Amino acid sequence: MEYAQRFFMDENVQYLFLAFYWYSNSPILVTLIPFATFSAFHTLGYLRTNIIPTFFPTNATSQATNSAASSSAPTSSAGFPTQISLAIKKWTDQNYGPAMQFVSYIEVVGVMGRLLLGAITYVTVGFFIEYIRFKNRCFVTT
């Protein structure tokens, strides 16, 4: 039972259910904006933490140097993959907060506004309201 509770409270599972629900109903293009935004940040994070280190491994000495220098701007002695990784991290750190505010605005104003205009049934409006309530109840900050 505890596993099921953790499973259903996981944000990724909630978005999976929401994606399946939207996939199985009439398409609403404004709902693609939050998914595209989240996908962009997840892709950049995966690229930075998995793809770049896999294809351009560094030795332990340069990792220690890079971790010490990660708070500062990349130096010319750092390799190109390290500079790219640091640039991705810097960009995502700077833009994650504003992007999440934008996405939440789109979810509430864009998607909910589209639903309230009567383009789809009342069942979908109720489902989306319950989704937003459940999401906000499970997570203090989203």
Q: Which residue has the higher pLDDT, 80 or 131?
A: 80
**pLDDT one-digit tens code per residue, 106-129:** 988 988 887 777 655 566 667 777
Output the six-digit token pair for 35.
Answer: 């998914």
Instruction: Answer for the pair 37, 142: CB distance below 8 angstroms, yes or no.
Output: no
pLDDT over threshold 80, residue 14: yes
Q: What pLDDT score does 121 carry?
A: 58
From residue 74, give the alpha-carbon distance in Å to each of 7, 22, 53. 39, 42, 16
CA-nearest of 75, 97, 95, 96 to 86 is 75
User: What are the distances in angstroms from CA 137 to CA 51, 62, 75, 122, 133?
Assistant: 35, 44, 44, 22, 6
Residue ranges of domains in the chain: 2-138
Is the overall model pTM greater than 0.75, yes or no? no
